Chains A and B, each alone.
Chain A
Amino acid sequence: MSIRDRADLVQPGESTEPDEAAGWTAAVRRRLVRELPPDTMLPDTQPKYVASWIYVFGVLTLAAFLVVLGSGAVLAIQGPSWWHTSDIGHFFNSLHLWSVELFMAFMVIHLWGKFFMAAWRGRRALTWITGAVAFLGSIGTAFTGYLTQQNLDSQWIAVQSKDALNAVGIGAYFSPMNFGQMLMWHIVLLPAFVGILVVLHVLMVRRRGVVPPLPLRDRPAEAEPGTASEAGREAEAAETEEQP
């Protein structure tokens, strides 16, 4: 059925013409709609195999990340030494610390789950890579966070780590004892790097769908209809057919 044949189904105000507009904005619009269709980006259902607690840790990581960004933004308003002199500052610093603890813990459990699920299957390699690089970026962000605490801990870590960074030849460009540089890396460059990767990661998860569980190839008798192993086999078979 073509778009013109569907004229009776079109809502008032909706165009029945195909999008053939010229210009780069129209080209970008067509590309985005083709690559990131709205019903795929914001689905209202999920496959039955997603009904497992192990699939929850990705969104838990995202939730913790939002608290990290929010509490970090409040700390940025008043400056890095505010938490030493104010109870409210101390509260937000603790909120920042514990949300980071949860962020890292949830992210590592998410990584364990996806690793043992071989989550790079089904043309999801780039999803896996963006997640892994975001994890490495998060370690760098945590490191620069330690360096901006404005206490003996941060001084100790800066002095010790400078030797390691000098030993690998990057101390001239990334100096832990340069407080201003570390603060800018912590609150501008690395959050932007991790944030962009997280957005790309989520978009790729939406585009390819949540990875199905591994099928139980050696034990076909256990793959009862409606179980996760049966769902995994069906999903993997469907994905294999889709691939060129």
Chain B
Amino acid sequence: MSAVTQGALAAAVDLNGPGHYLNWGVIQISAANLVIIGVMIVVFVLALLLPFPKGRGRR
């Protein structure tokens, strides 16, 4: 991986510092965990909506 690519990735997601946290009353969650939960919900919805390829061996 070139230095330019590494630099771009580091700029996009800087993991070398304290985490970012969101607070809402008594609820506290890190931005990273919130993003992961969001991605999981998106994957769940896509799994329900996207058509499944036709295959053999189903009755």
Evaluate contact between A48 and B36: CB separation under 8 angstroms: no
Chain B interface: which of A12-20, A53-61, A83-91?
A53-61
Evaluate contact between A109 and B44: CB separation under 8 angstroms: yes
Q: Is B40 an interface residue (CB 8 A)?
A: yes
Chain B interface: which of A39-47, A174-182, A184-192, A194-202?
A39-47
Chain A interface: which of B1-9, B20-28, B51-59?
B51-59
Within the complex, the shortest CB–CB distance from B45 to chain A, in Å, comes to 10
For A99-130 the 0/1 string (1 means CB < 8 A from B) is: 00000010011001100000000000000000
Chain A residue nearest in CB terms to B56: A45
Evaluate contact between B40 and A53: CB separation under 8 angstroms: no
Within the complex, the shortest CB–CB distance from A216 to chain B, in Å, comes to 15
Within the complex, the shortest CB–CB distance from A78 to chain B, in Å, comes to 25
Q: A44-B57, A46-B59 are in contact. Are A51 and B43 (CB under 8 A)?
A: no
Evaluate contact between A53 and B47: CB separation under 8 angstroms: yes
Q: How many residues of A contact B (CB 8 A)?
A: 17
Evaluate contact between B47 and A51: CB separation under 8 angstroms: no
Name the interface size band of chain B.
10 to 19
For chain A, residues 158 to 187, give those with C-beta under 8 angstroms from any C-beta of chain B: none
Q: Is A205 an interface residue (CB 8 A)?
A: no
Q: Is B48 an interface residue (CB 8 A)?
A: yes
Q: A51-B52, A53-B52 are in contact. Are A113 and B58 (CB under 8 A)?
A: no
Additional pairs, 13, CB under 8 Å, beyond known A45-B58, A105-B40 = A44-B57, A45-B59, A47-B58, A50-B58, A52-B48, A53-B46, A53-B50, A53-B52, A54-B47, A54-B48, A105-B36, A109-B47, A112-B44
Residues of A at the B interface (CB closer than 8 Å) are 44-48, 50-54, 56-57, 105, 108-109, 112-113
Residues of B at the A interface (CB closer than 8 Å) are 36, 40, 43-44, 46-48, 50, 52, 54-55, 57-59
Could you show 14 A-B contacts with beta carbons less than 8 Å apart? Answer: A45-B59, A46-B59, A47-B59, A48-B58, A50-B58, A51-B58, A52-B48, A52-B52, A53-B48, A105-B36, A105-B40, A108-B40, A112-B44, A113-B44
